[in-house]
Structure 1
Amino acid sequence: MEKHILVPMTHAEESDKALEYAITNFPDAEFTVIHVINPGYQYGVEGYVGYEQIMEQERRKANELFGKATEIAASHGVTITTEQLTGHTPTTILQYADEQQADQIVLGSRGRGGISRLLLGSVAEAVTRRSSIPVTIVR
């Protein structure tokens, strides 16, 4: 049975490593690469300032990211599906994995620790703690 692997990606090097890991370790799987745009990061005291311009810029960045992911996959002779999503990153990843019946999530982590992780949070940690399917974190 073919596995469906979900690979959430950002512009961090660790995301590229996660995709490489997934392709290398599950060569016969179906791969979906997602990028979550979290508009909450753009929220300020006055509300969303230039929301549409910010979102359009984020969409362009996501398309660039998908181009790079497609090149990585092609170098291994694999095709991927890409999906751009909007929402709170960990929650959106988990909802998408459930809706698409993914068998596993493979994502990169910068490996922040201590006070940095407490202040900034960790998408990888939140996904791992709340996921009902296996999660592999690549550094």
Structure 2
Amino acid sequence: MGGILVPVDGSKHAEDALEYSINHFSDEEITALHVVEIPQGYFTATAPDPEDIPQVEAHKEEAEKLLDDIEAKATEMSAVIETDFELGDPEDVILSYAEENDIDEIVIGSRGISGVGRIMFGSVAEKVVRRAEIPVVVVH
């Protein structure tokens, strides 16, 4: 597959990362990936299938809307992008998705939707930068 992977979560920084990717990698295939995080705790640990947890179902619906909005924004910018969503731990999913799809580069926003905790980088961006075996561009 190759191309550019842009993790998206609805934050301004993720939107900026997508715009950066479209503007700088217009000849590459761009994939916007949203990760639906599975909640931790007793209920999740005892659920037969984490996807059936009502909270996860609601987040999957939100992910579909977010990705539809992202596709519309890309179209406004005269770009065609792929979108996808996965369930799991964001940094693990981002890195495994990149490896499984032979992604050439990750472009990630410096902070996600939670935006607290770190001065320069969000925890997901920092972990992706530290663990990725391919180039990572952090958009601030």
TM-score (norm 2): 0.84
Larger deviation: 70-79 or 103-112? 103-112
More strand by share: 1
- Please list the CA deviations of residues 63-95 of structure 1 after superposition, one character each: whole Å capped at 9, or x if unmatched: 111012101210121111111101111111000
The answer to whether the aligner puts 1:77 opposite 2:78 as a matched pair is: yes
SS at match of 1:43: coil
**3-state DSSP class of the match of 2:99?**
helix
1:32 counterpart letter in structure 2: T
% identical equivalent positions? 37
Opposite residue 106 of structure 2, the aligned amino acid is: I
Residue in 2 aligned with 1:30? 29
In structure 1, stretches of 5+ residues that fail to align are: none
Contact 1:105 1:134 in 2 (8 A): yes
Report how far residue 13 of structure 1 moved: 1.0
Give yes or no for contact 1:20–1:72 (8 Å, CA) kept in 2: no
Q: Deviations over 1:22-78 (max 9, x none)?
A: 000111110111111111xx223x433996211111011101110121012101211
Unaligned regions of 5+ residues in structure 2, if any?
none
Aligned to 2:100: 99
Equivalences for residues 3-18 of structure 1 within 5 A: 4-18=3-17
Distance in 2 separating the partners of 1:92 and 1:110: 17
Aligned match of 1:47 = 43
Q: CA deviation at 1:3?
A: 5.9
**In structure 2, what residue type is equivalent to 1:47?**
F
Number of positions where the alignment pairs a residue of Structure 1 with one of Structure 2: 131
Q: What TM-score does the superposition give when structure 1 sets the normalisation length?
A: 0.84
- For the residues of structure 2 that align with 1:86 and 1:109, how far apart are their CA atoms? 21
In the alignment, what sits opposite 1:57? Answer: 58
RMSD: 2.4
